[in-house]
């Protein structure tokens, strides 16, 4: 008989099943239901009555969304003001509905090199998205936010307001310039160094293999998780404790049936509310530090062990260890390219050797570096 693998894609529930669900009470099992997808039997686990979510549970979400909306609105108002009041910018907000408009009609020109036409508007912004903007002002602000216009507009406004002459800007600019020049100097120093010998690389490998070249112990695990509450919503402490107890009881009831990996995978696919559910609960290989080892549980478990139900984050879990990959020290040959490569993609040895030299040079040059305008000497050394 051919094995049929159930689809994990979300599907609409058939009307026959919905009608049967309405008649069930919590914990009850339906009769056989004939639906357009075959024969079905349903058990109702829980039921939430229709109604509005209390304001206390959604207040934080509403606050975040309002804040984001207000910030974006303020950004758009500011961009419009920048375009409207900065000398040298030509703009035509009403061109979108002008009777004489053509594809070459100008929407905005920041300068002689940067402009945006109606052709740009039609070619760079999808028609379905354009259609959501009903007024000329909304369309014009959409153009101001475009990749082609946004940065040149901000630069033009900054120059007009002479922001680059402020003390704060100068401090930031000078610090950034020092960082760029120091990095260029560091590359120059490294570029002048001869290629390390095989013995130097081996010495570096032996000294660092425990830290840099050892693969830590890893666990191949699977999970079955039941939600305690909805993410981002406040939950009454009593309600949370009740949900935890209910989920632990439910997982505890199925625990004896999870004798094999196949049992666990089948159950995870059927009932797990964790994101791994559609993938049979598979998490894959993880280090013992992942999620703090689920509060230390991982290191106490052996292959094929299944944990007791436990609370972690917003879920109650069952955890299964499918396999354990022991700690492994990588060979010198495997690590040579990491230690040093001719193309410079990886040069851990050179980086370590040069870091101390770089610190010495920069420390000696520090006072000179901080003198206004005295940067160029760095490139000469």
Query: 279-322: per-residue pLDDT in tens?
Result: 999 998 988 888 888 888 998 999 999 999 999 988 999 999 99
- Give the residue among 221, 222, 239 at the shortest CA–CA distance from 230: 239
| Domain boundaries, given as residue ranges, for the chain | 11-51, 58-158, 167-195+341-380, 217-326
Beta strands across the sheet bearing 310-312: 282-287, 218-227, 315-325, 310-312
Least-confidence region, from 6-15, 80-89, 122-131: 6-15
pLDDT value of position 48: 74
Least-confidence region, from 44-53, 134-143, 265-274, 300-309: 44-53
Q: Is the pLDDT of residue 53 over 50?
A: yes
- Give the residue among 32, 6, 1 at the shortest CA–CA distance from 266: 6
Residues 6 or more apart from 187 whose CB is under 8 A from it?
none
353 or 184: which leads in pLDDT: 184
Does 3.40.50.261 match the CATH number of domain 217-326? no
Residues 6 or more apart from 92 whose CB is under 8 A from it?
98, 105, 106, 107, 108
Sign of CA dihedral 331, 337, 340, 345: negative
Task: Say if CB 9 and CB 2 are below 8 A apart.
Answer: no
Distance linking the first and last C-alpha atoms of the chain = 79
Residues 6 or more apart from 293 whose CB is under 8 A from it?
299
Nearest-angstrom CA–CA distance, 269 and 5: 11
* Chain centroid offset of residue 243 CA: 29
């Amino acid at each position: 008989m051919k094995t049929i693998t159930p689809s994990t894609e979300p599907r609409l529930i058939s009307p026959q099943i919905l009608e049967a669900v309405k008649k069930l009470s919590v914990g009850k099992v339906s009769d056989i239901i004939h639906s357009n997808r075959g024969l079905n039997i349903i058990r109702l686990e829980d039921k939430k009555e229709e109604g509005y979510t209390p304001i206390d549970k959604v207040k934080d979400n509403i606050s975040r969304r309002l804040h984001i909306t207000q910030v974006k609105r303020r950004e758009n108002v500011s961009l419009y003001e920048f375009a409207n009041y900065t000398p040298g910018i030509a703009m035509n907000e009403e061109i979108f509905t002008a009777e004489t408009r053509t594809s070459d009609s100008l929407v905005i020109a920041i300068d002689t090199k940067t402009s945006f036409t109606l052709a740009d508007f039609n070619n760079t912004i999808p028609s379905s998205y354009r259609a959501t903007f009903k007024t000329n002002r909304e369309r014009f602000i959409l153009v101001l936010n475009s990749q082609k216009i946004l940065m040149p507009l901000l630069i033009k406004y900054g120059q007009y307001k002479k922001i680059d002459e402020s003390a704060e800007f100068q401090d930031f600019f000078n610090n950034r310039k020092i960082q760029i020049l120091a990095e260029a100097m560091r590359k120059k120093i490294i570029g002048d160094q001869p290629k390390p010998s095989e013995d130097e690389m081996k010495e570096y490998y032996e000294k660092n293999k425990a830290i840099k070249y050892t693969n830590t112990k890893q666990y191949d695990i699977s999970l079955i998780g039941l939600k305690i509450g909805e993410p981002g919503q406040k939950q009454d402490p009593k309600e949370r404790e009740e949900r935890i107890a209910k989920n632990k009881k439910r997982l505890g009831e199925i625990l004896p049936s999870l004798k094999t990996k196949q049992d666990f995978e089948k159950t995870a696919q059927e009932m797990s509310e964790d994101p791994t559910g559609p993938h049979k609960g598979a998490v894959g290989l993880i280090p013992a530090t992942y999620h703090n080892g689920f509060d230390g549980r991982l290191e106490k478990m052996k292959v094929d062990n299944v944990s007791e139900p436990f609370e972690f984050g917003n879920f109650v879990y069952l955890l299964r260890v499918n396999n354990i990959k022991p700690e492994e020290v990588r060979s010198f040959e495997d690590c040579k390219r990491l230690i040093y490569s001719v193309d410079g993609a990886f040069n851990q040895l050179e980086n370590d050797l040069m870091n101390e030299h770089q610190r010495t040079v920069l420390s000696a040059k520090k006072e000179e570096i901080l003198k206004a305008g005295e940067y160029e000497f760095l490139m000469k050394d």
